[in-house]
Amino acid sequence: MTPLILTTSDQNTAEVREMLTAASPAEETAGFTVGQPHEIPGLVSGHIEAGADEVIFSFAFADTAGIAAVGEALGLSRK
C-alpha cells in the first residue's frame, strides 16, 4: 500500500518531496506517491507494467474532491 499525497502544482510537488526527503531516509519514503491528480496514473504505471493487478493507496488526508480527481485521472467514474 503506497501512501498518496496529492499536490496542487509542480512547485507544491517539489516542496512535498523536499519535505519528505528532509524528514526521513530515502528507503522510508521511496514508496510514496506524490503528485497532482492527473500525474497519478503515470506514477503507478510501473506497478501495473510489472504485473500488479491493482494498486492500493493509503490516502489519509483525502477529501471527496481529491478522491474524485484521482478516480477521474485513473479513468474511474461513478455509474
Question: What is residue 10's predicted lDDT score, i.e. its pLDDT?
Answer: 97
Q: Taken in order 31, 78, 62, 12, is the CA torsion positive or negative? A: positive
Q: Average pLDDT by consecutive 10-residue portion of the chain (79 residues)?
A: 91 96 91 92 89 88 88 79
- Whole-prediction pTM value? 0.81
Domains in the chain: boundaries: 2-73
Q: What is the pLDDT of residue 79?
A: 57
So what's the pLDDT on residue 47?
A: 84
Q: CA angle, corner 64, sides to 41 and 14, nearest 5?
A: 50
Identify the pLDDT of residue 77. 72
